[in-house]
Amino acid sequence: MLTPTPLMELVTGFWSFKTFAAAVELDLFTRLAGGRTLTKDQLGLPERPADLLLAACASLGLLERDGEGYRNSPLAEEFLVRGKPYYFGGQVTYCDQRTYLPWHRIGEALRTDRPLTWDPQTQESMFDTADPAMLSTFWDAMYSTSIFTARALSDAVPLAGRRRLLDVGGGSGAYPIELCRTHPRLRATVLDLPHVCEIAAAKVAAAGLTDRVATAPGDFLADAELPGGHDVVLLSMILHDWDEAANRALLAKAHAALEPGGLVIVSELLLDADRTGPAPAALMGMNMLVETVGGRNYSDAEYERWLTDAGFTEVRTVRFDAPGANGAVLGIKP
């Protein structure tokens, strides 16, 4: 029998997120690291909210019951303990502090086609903010999402034999760090704005890869060309920020910069060609309405067409499962 239960799950979806975000804010999962167990009396909260929070986190698969207390689930232990390589808390904090309240005005964005997290009339981009703490939170979020996605990409995309990778809009350097760890002969360059390159350089140094990962300050949209000397150009979670014209122009720059035989990789949450899903890609598109002027999520068919038009051959799509992407569209420069 058809019931409104799925609709109720949609209505109450924010309950799960805000419970999750509150637990991350309290550093609950870090306190439980290494198999430690806590009871509701040990959280430093009043009894009723402590009991409700622990039960709710257990219901979401974040905690497990252990006698009179709770411990981290394997998922929480791997990704929600601060300081671990694939810590995901930055993404949770960013969404909670930056996008959650603007999403309350999504109807306004639909009516006006204007972003909600920044003002295009007074700011150059979504990255132009006077709040350094928010910028730090943003790059932590991108790093936590990107580093595990890079791991999945490395398994799905053939990079053996490739020598030099250019990560366009590479942010804090998560992809080059992870890809160079996986491919010992690979060297990489992060192309991004000067202040972002400083963040990437610090991450690279912490990973012990300064001899293999460099930074190149620049503006990939405004600059006439991309740095040359690379046989791989990576565009990961970049093209969804811009409209078709900007993306086609960037792909043309990638084609011009690559060596003959070079590989371009467009890694994104890809929509199906009929634009009916999958939900993560479609909903990320809605988030682009909240956060960007012209961004949206595109289908693999669209990216394949743009790459072909830019002069790439052997264009194909590979699929994988990761938090920041569900696949990559590949092309070869003849």
Residues belonging to the active site: 240
- Beta strand 63-66 with 69-72 is antiparallel
Q: How far apart are CA 151 and CA 174, in angstroms?
A: 10
Cβ–Cβ under 8 Å, residues 193 and 171: no
Which region, left, alpha or beta, applies to residue 197 given φ > 0 means left and ψ of -120 to 50 means alpha? Answer: alpha
Give 236's strand partners.
Answer: 267
For residue 230, give the H/E element and its range: strand 230-236
**Amino acid in the structure at residue 66:** D
For residue 282, give the H/E element and its range: helix 279-291
Write the CB contacts of 145 (distance below 8 Å, at least 6 apart in sequence): 88, 91, 237, 323, 324
Q: How many helices (H) and strands (E) does the chain have?
A: 14, 9
Q: How far apart are CA 246 and CA 283, in angstroms?
A: 22
